Chain A
Amino acid sequence: MKRIALLGMPNTGKSTFFNRLTGAGARVGNWPGITVDLLAAKILLAGTMVEVVDLPGIYNLHGFSDDEQVVRHFLESQAVNGLVVILNASQLDRQLALLLQLKALKLPMTLVLNMSDEAKQLGIKIDLAALARNLDVPVTLISAKYGQGFESARQAIEQLLHTHPAVIRADTAGLSQDDNIEVELDRIVGNTVNTPITLAPDLTRRLDRVLLHPWLGLPLFFITVFLLFQLVYGIGTPLQDAMNWGLEHIKTGLLQPALANAPLPVQSFILDGLFDGVGTVLSFLPIIVVFFIFMAIIEDSGYLARAAYLMDALMAKVGLDGRSFVMQLMGFGCNVPALMGTRVMRSRALRLLTMMVIPFSLCSARLQVFLFFTTAIFAPRAAAVVMFSLYLMSFLMAFLTALVWRGKYRSVEPLLLELPPYRFPTFKQLLVQGWQQSQHFLKGASGFIVGGVVVVWALTHYPFNVPPASPATLAGQLADWMVPVFQPLGIDRLLSVALLFGFIAKEIVIGALAVIYGAGQSNLAGVIAGKLDWVQAYSFMLFTLIYTPCLSTVAVLKQESKSYWFTFIAVAWPLGLAWVVSFAFYQGARALGW
């Protein structure tokens, strides 16, 4: 198989070029020893199938950031026909350094200068023929976003494949060679690139004057995130409801009649186990698509990098950055896309720390449980205070977690972030984002989620001759063993079975309680108010807030970290924390005589 690797600096539109070159057929490839997702696609080029790999953007071939190590590891271990190097045409004065470093690898190369539209606007003139002669590498000038020049770039790649039909390995001496390229860089840029000396105050500078204003910047940032949140979940949640409505109809209208003659355990397994598992996976898709469409807008626009700038003074203290904060806030809608969104942070340590923090965000599913409990147990005035205290607790736990774990997940990457010009992604780019991310979720998390739902189904339904979730089921027995653990929290056997259900998804806790208490959904509130006092109820809510948000979150933690150990910590830590907090609250409240 022929193979081409795409390489370039961050913010050069490399992924846009990759998507234009490969269409929608990209998938996450599996490469030994590489812990980030690399997109790859097999396409027909020059009459043969070629695998095109999109390597992460890097600043320096010899640098030590996570992405830089990934690229070096890839080039060391994989043979390629050649490299396609993508640089920003308006920043050649520094970006050509990367190409000069890559030349030392002695691999066939072709250079693609992207963002010709921006360079033209800035009045930058590049002598392409002279540049190609100086570098001894073919050069094409394109705009990957709008497509100008794309055909010639494609032909250049085909030409490369034609003249270098065999895959070869990089000369590894070039991976460790010392930089001594600055003189050559300045000579080539001086000979070939003509940059006007004064810059016209462009749109980016005018926008920055407002958006990064010393005093207006932060309020505008909070308004932006608030609007983003409203848009994502205002559009995503109704779509999610529609998906659930459709699934419910398939279940009751199609599956139930079709299975009417099957033995009861088989019916139950297919309907409440398998189908609910698949339904759990599918119900996240609308939210993920909408989330990533909007995320692509604020990321590609360059505003996310500005969020890091605005929030750094506050977030650096807990070892996080402004982008972590955006994802944490988005987690208040749903943790799953927020966790996937951490991919914009390129430092693995910073990403993992952010992924530890996000599950404490009080998502809309948990909100449903809390609204139900507070209205059932508390007077309206007290209910508002209770809800507020839970949100406060959510932030408190998040920052506590960041403080505790920032030592282990300390980002060693320099915080030197490019603030790219404001760019507005095309509609097609947004759709590609939504599509790729939902594919990624389906592939990476669905097996785990369906498996988990089936396990919980088995626990709550076996043996089949007793009512589901009753004391005689496996779940009931498990609850018996767990009595010593949950009793000190004021959480009784029945509630602890509900917590087990809540592990699948918090949305089903209320329904599960109705089953467990043998009450209808409508009079469940009365039953609960009769059985629990407010101290017990609040302790249960604290536990529900802090422990594992849901199976899908765990699946995504695993998918994104690619580490079982991290996933274990990210599940065990909140569980322990939930127990300690509920214990302290319950015992404290009782000691005070409540």
Chain B
Amino acid sequence: MHTSLDHLFPSQTGTIETIDVSPELGRRMAALGLRPGRRVEMVRAAPLRGPLQIRIGHTEIMIRRVDAAKINVNLVA
């Protein structure tokens, strides 16, 4: 199922398909391991529509929902 990263529920995993962000943010994302083909797991979401905690390999990252919405993923069953 195709969706964006911010729509995953905690402990769901997706494979990144495309990332639609500025080159600058894209570079930082790539450096943290967020790039097409990688598997990303939603760990948890902060309350009050706060940021998300996600995991790629051995790296855990906090990301704001607006940025996560620009990462398209394919849900892994």
Residues of A at the B interface (CB closer than 8 Å) are 9, 59-60, 62-65, 90-91, 93-94, 97-98, 122, 124, 179, 182, 195, 199, 208, 212, 214-215, 217-218, 305, 308-310, 312-314, 316, 414-421
Contacts and interface: CB of A to CB of B under 8 A. Distances in A.
Interface string B38-54: 00000111111111010
A309 B53 contact: yes
B8 interface: no
A97 B28 CA distance: 12
A124 B57 CA distance: 12
Contact of A212 (B27, B44, B63): B44
Contacts of B47: 214-215, 217-218, 313
A414 B28 contact: yes
Interface string B50-73: 110100111111111001000000
A182 B62 contact: no
A312 B64 contact: yes
Give the interface SS of chain B, mostly helix, strand, loop or mixed. Answer: mixed
A179 B27 contact: yes
B24 A416 contact: no
A418 B59 contact: yes
B31 A98 contact: yes
A215 B49 CA distance: 13
A410 to B, nearest CB: 15
21 contacts: A9-B31, A63-B27, A90-B58, A93-B57, A94-B30, A94-B32, A94-B33, A182-B35, A208-B53, A214-B45, A214-B46, A217-B47, A308-B62, A310-B50, A313-B49, A313-B50, A314-B48, A414-B24, A415-B62, A416-B25, A416-B61
A566 to B, nearest CB: 25
Nearest to A93: B57
A217 B60 CA distance: 17
Contact of A417 (B24, B27, B33, B61): B61
Nearest to A209: B44
Contacts, number: 109
Contacts of A421: 60
A308 B45 CA distance: 13
Given A208-B43, A416-B61, 9 more contacts: A94-B32, A94-B56, A97-B30, A312-B64, A313-B49, A314-B48, A415-B64, A416-B32, A416-B62
Nearest to B22: A414
A423 to B, nearest CB: 13
B25 A414 contact: yes
Contacts of B46: 212, 214, 217, 309-310, 312-313
Contacts of A218: 47
Nearest to B24: A64
B57 A415 contact: no
Contact of B24 (A63, A93, A208, A314): A63
Contact of A214 (B24, B44, B63, B64): B44
A415 B29 CA distance: 10
B48 A416 contact: no
